[in-house]
Amino acid sequence: MTISAKFFIALVVLCGLGTMAFAVQLHHETVLWARFFAFLVVTLFAARCNVSLPGITGSMSVNVPFILIAVTQLGLWEAIFIACSSGLVQCLMSSRKTNAVKLLFNVCNMANATGFAYILYNLHLQNAELTTHSLLLLAAAAGYFLVNTMPVAVIISLTERQNPAKLWSTLFLWTFPYYLLSAGLAFLASTVTRFVGWQTAVCLLPVMFGVYVSYRMYTSQQPSGEPVSTMARAATA
């Protein structure tokens, strides 16, 4: 591993540990344990549904909408704990070889992405309109996507001597439609929760499992390379 790769990993890890410490220090609200554990269990199960991306040393799980829902409905400490736990499960369940450094990098990267998304979403004022919430959720999803995928592209480029811009563009084409769907589902869940309750978020698990099966079938039929043109068109539509 090059010195620049080690430095970048150390930077991401330090930022992640700082984000976790800040979240613990900031936490003052009472935890609704039933809601917290329900979100945790569902997100961990979703993290087990892992799809290897062709042509990239990485994978994607269907935990994104549940992390975004946690960002909108839970505290910062709870959302980061759920995201980091799901990131840990995702690494352990991956078909590719993993090690302690990779685990630590991915977990801290999840903490950074979740913390950034939480900050973006909570910029709103109290009793903000539904339109404001939807725009902030889109901003949170975009922030989560950028902070989550860009460090991955950079570290892969540093360790495998590839073009980081090309790697990130490939990641974008494969995952952008899924992140867009996740933002829509998170908005739907947060809207319904206002009238029904947080339990509605759990009902999204069968939907995301269907998305996982579809993605896995699609990627298994593609050659080991960049997404085909149909996927590119879906990403830019």
Give the domain ranges of the chain: 3-236
Closest by CA to 141, choosing from 175, 165, 91, is 175
Any idea which residue has 């984000």 for tokens? 19
Query: What's the pLDDT band for 65 if we cut at 50, 70, 90?
Result: confident
Q: Domain 3-236's class?
A: mainly alpha
> Rounded to whole angstroms, how far apart are CA atoms 61 and 66?
11
Any idea which residue has 């400490």 for tokens? 77
Which one of 48-57, 83-92, 118-127, 131-140 scores highest in mean pLDDT?
83-92
Task: Report pLDDT digits (tens) over 155-167.
Answer: 888 887 778 788 8
Q: How far is CA 34 from CA 6, 48, 77, 198, 234, in A?
A: 40, 22, 16, 10, 38
Please check the confidence at residue 151 and state whether its pLDDT lies above 70. yes
Q: How far is CA 189 from CA 26, 65, 161, 185, 237, in A?
A: 26, 9, 41, 6, 24
> Rounded to whole angstroms, how far apart are CA atoms 183 and 111?
18
